[in-house]
Structure 1
């Protein structure tokens, strides 16, 4: 391999990002097999890169890799969804409960700036991956205001695990309008130091995507 080809070879992170996007937005469906040779050909990647990417996706709980079998896109049971959302509600409410109010001005302004970019992307019908990333960035900055790194890490873990569930409807116009309104309300609750409203919002905000997933699965 020459220097140019090595420079062009994708990193594990790049392969993970693309496969995760494919799973989140339904381009790879539940139970679909992830064949190493096919992924190597698709990405122009070495086998160790593909295997490392699959291991990372398995760690994020969106891919399963049984012993001596090919990896497959995870399919969630209703019980797993209930448990994941129970943990998300528990952790996110706790983050709102302990969040110092008033928040540090610089951190709050950074949250507002992400919200502005999210609204702009949603308004112009931007790429769904961009909308998803901005939505994630908003929530990362929101919960970072609680000043508890381990709690934020736990929130991020369960948020990542719920990606294939919460992505349902993420670019739907009505879903986006509600998300924007609720993000705006969260910022206002922080500014008003209304902890009760914030605790309610961070839990209720999760429900539409879960309900949409349940409805679509019921009709499948």
Structure 2
């Protein structure tokens, strides 16, 4: 329940539905979600860890995501995902990569159906597969807190041309499957640079709505 509440609040804070500096009162949120204060407390702890809530004299307030946050998030993600790709190329089997290909195939199916939500889910699964295939459990655990935020950013910023985005992910996977580590990391950097640009545009748009 705490995870579900955290997701709802995370979406609303990032989208600006909950304005910056809003007091995130446990009793008010418990009444809103019709739960005890325990799950709300767990949710708020997650948001504080993620930088979407801040403590001011024992009271938590919503904190907007700004362009500096985007830079920091993508810098950390590039470091984590570059390592994940390096380890995955070293450790993953052909069967593991076949499973990633199936994810890309599901992206293509979502594109045919013009299903942006299903595409965003597959997009997240694609990137998480590098961490899963790295063979390093702690690296996967390190990605998990960021995964929750990026899942929302994916939904907000994924291009409307999901057919082209699917082709981009297919090309990305094709490079990774060659086993060329440096080319794969370069492809990741380009991929994240473009994605970061989309997120910046979305956040600027939200700030003016």
Offset at residue 141 of structure 1 (A)? 1.0
SS in 1 for 2:58: coil
Task: Name the structure 2 match of 1:143.
Answer: 131
Task: Name the structure 2 match of 1:52.
Answer: 42
Offset at residue 23 of structure 1 (A)? 4.0
Q: Distance in 2 between matches of 1:143 and 1:106?
A: 16
* Residues 137-162 of structure 1, C-alpha deviations (whole Å, 9 max, x = no match): 22111232222222333344444455
The 1:103/1:177 distance shift into structure 2, 3 A limit, reads: same
Offset at residue 183 of structure 1 (A)? 1.5
Task: Name the structure 2 match of 1:195.
Answer: 181
The 1:65/1:118 distance shift into structure 2, 3 A limit, reads: farther
2:106 alignment partner, one of 99, 117, 120:
117
TM-score after normalising by structure 1: 0.75
1:152 alignment partner, one of 140, 144, 148:
140
Q: Which has the higher helix share?
A: 2
* Residues 35-73 of structure 1, C-alpha deviations (whole Å, 9 max, x = no match): 43443233211122212111122223333343332431x
State which drifts further: 199-208 or 92-101: 92-101
| Unpaired segments ≥5 residues, structure 1 | 1-10
* Residues 6-43 of structure 1, C-alpha deviations (whole Å, 9 max, x = no match): xxxxx22222233334445x263551623434432332
RMSD: 2.9
Q: Is 1:79 matched with 2:68?
A: yes
Task: Name the structure 2 match of 1:5.
Answer: none
Is contact 2:175-2:184 (8 Å) kept? yes
Q: Distance in 2 between matches of 1:159 and 1:51?
A: 21
State which drifts further: 139-148 or 117-126: 117-126
SS in 2 for 1:28: coil
Q: Distance in 2 between matches of 1:35 and 1:119?
A: 43
SS in 1 for 2:59: coil
Is contact 1:96-1:199 (8 Å) kept? yes
Runs of 4+ in 1 over 6 A off after TM superposition: none
Q: Distance in 2 between matches of 1:131 and 1:36?
A: 34
Aligned pairs for 1:2-17 (under 5 A) are: 11-17=1-7
Task: Name the structure 2 match of 1:99.
Answer: 88
Task: Name the structure 1 match of 2:121.
Answer: 133
| Unpaired segments ≥5 residues, structure 2 | none
